[in-house]
Amino acid sequence: MNTATHPPDSAAATSDRDALRRMQFGWYINDWANAAFSATVLTVFLGPYLTSIAKDAADASGNVHPLGLSIRAGSYFPYTVSFSVLLSVGAMLLAGTIADRTGRHKEMMCGFAYLGATATMGMFFLGGNRYLLGGALLVVANIAYAVSVALSYAYLPGLASPDERDAVSSKGWAYGYAGGGLLLVANLALFEGHEALGVSSGTAVRICLASAGLWWALFTVVPLLRLPSRAGVKPARTEGGEGDRPAEGSLRELGRTLRGMRRYPLTLLYLAAFLCYNDGIQTVVSQASLFGSEELGMDQTSLVAAVLLVQIVAIGGALLLGRIARRYGAKRTVLGSLVGWVITLALGYVMPAHKPIWFFALACMIGLVLGGSQALSRSLFSHLIPAGKEAEYFSVYKVSDRGTSWMGPLVFGLAYELTGSYRSAIISLLVFFVIGFAVLAKVPVKRAIEAVGNPVPERL
């Protein structure tokens, strides 16, 4: 008799699981899509190419003059990136508030993705001395990328139960590294074989840049079709009147959110820990090529191979640390990954020069802890957000990911300035991981989750 009543319930449960898997896959593919911009454009190709364009446009003193300013051509790319990061801070905060207020997370996320993809495809036209066009496209693309990624993070609480969130977040990071790495392999093959294809090196670079935008746009169709409009677990309550204009009401809501975060000091304590150790992570990633070329004597081929190796190993690293977190909890696993970062820096400090095999081993160690530490930090933070405020809080989280990344490079640069050694510079970054570890260890995660009213997962 019981079998007569169970099949409908079972069918409904199966339908719900299938729908959830479809949404999760759409979210994974969003990481697959946008990682192409990070890997191909920001990490490998655009910096050297835009710098060469700026140098071609420079005056006799080696300076260019964007917006009436006089700066060294060699500084144009990093200054432009810094400017775009500064603008992205406000854009992420406002976009997150508007998304939570209107419930149009998907439309805004994909809209910014297509804006960034279009700007990236426009980089195909960066010939001659069009450094101003290159800077403008970089600013638009990087802001759009930051906003789109921050909005995608807001989906995590609604895509997995508290106990499954670490695995889902880790799988998303793995998809991102796989997608970014796959396109990067194809682009590097194109660049290395440009002479056989009858194209110049500059044309090959422009094709590679445009391909990242095309890849981003093409695969964004999947989350556009599979994700719901609203992210998170329930609508946010707003205090503004129905007659508020969206932007005006959202600005007020943003102010209330930032003030309201003071009611959750444990969430802020976690953000402080993440801000510190993630600044160290971002600096290691951004300065590893400089350390390899200037201190270890690695050639360009070895450096590119190391970038690819990090991408590939990070896939397994994200999945491995996700499985470890399932047994030991996300907090313990993140703390363990920070110990791994400390060991990695120590080995980098004593690594012999002109030995590519050791540099590749260092790349493997970075990849092993890179994806997992970031994926689990994201899933852990998702538990500390009041329901209905996902996009707003993840925008603040993403600000600490991008907007404060000046601290690590500053310490790195000062250490080199004082010692003249990149070994001393790389080991100086230990302070970020040690302080981040100490602060994170003091966060009572269970109490922090209870304070915002969320269910506590079985393992933390």
Q: Is 70 exceeded by the pLDDT of residue 381? A: yes
Which percentage of the chain shows pLDDT scores above 90? Answer: 55
**Residue pLDDT, tens place only, 199-223:** 998 999 999 999 999 999 999 999 9
**Residue pLDDT, tens place only, 393-447:** 888 888 766 555 667 877 887 888 788 888 998 999 999 999 999 999 999 999 9
At 6, the pLDDT band (50, 70, 90 cuts) reads very low
At 236, the pLDDT band (50, 70, 90 cuts) reads very low
**Residue pLDDT, tens place only, 18-57:** 889 999 999 999 999 999 998 889 888 888 889 889 989 9
Whole-number pLDDT of residue 232: 66
Q: Is 90 exceeded by the pLDDT of residue 292? A: no
**Residue pLDDT, tens place only, 322-368:** 999 989 999 999 999 999 999 999 999 999 999 999 999 999 999 99
Which of 93-102, 201-210, 234-243, 255-264 is modeled with the greatest confidence?
201-210
Q: Is 70 exceeded by the pLDDT of residue 78? A: yes
Mean pLDDT of 71-90: 83
Comparison of pLDDT for 18 and 8, the residue scoring more: 18
Considering the chain, what is the average pLDDT of its residues? 87
At 241, the pLDDT band (50, 70, 90 cuts) reads very low
Question: Mapped to the 3 state alphabet, what secondary structure does the chain carry?
Answer: CHHHHHHHHHHHHHHHHHHHHHHHHHHHHHHHHHHHHHHHHHHHHHHHHHHHHHHHCCCCCCEECHHHCCEEHHHHHHHHHHHHHHHHHHHHHHHHHHHHHHCCHHHHHHHHHHHHHHHHHHHHHCCCCCHHHHHHHHHHHHHHHHHHHHHHHCCHHHHCCCCCHHHHHHHHHHHHHHHHHHHHHHHHHHHHCHHHHCCCHHHHHHHHHHHHHHHHHHHCHHHHHHCCCCCCCCCCCCCCCCCCCHHHHHHHHHHHHHHHHHHCHHHHHHHHHHHHHHHHHHHHHHHHHHHHHHCCCCCHHHHHHHHHHHHHHHHHHHHHHHHHHHHHCHHHHHHHHHHHHHHHHHHHHHCCCCCHHHHHHHHHHHHHHHHHHHHHHHHHHHCCCCCCCHHHHHHHHHHHHHCCCCHHHHHHHHHHHHHCCHHHHHHCCHHHHHHHHHHHHCCCHHHHHHHCCCCCCCCC
Q: Global pTM?
A: 0.83
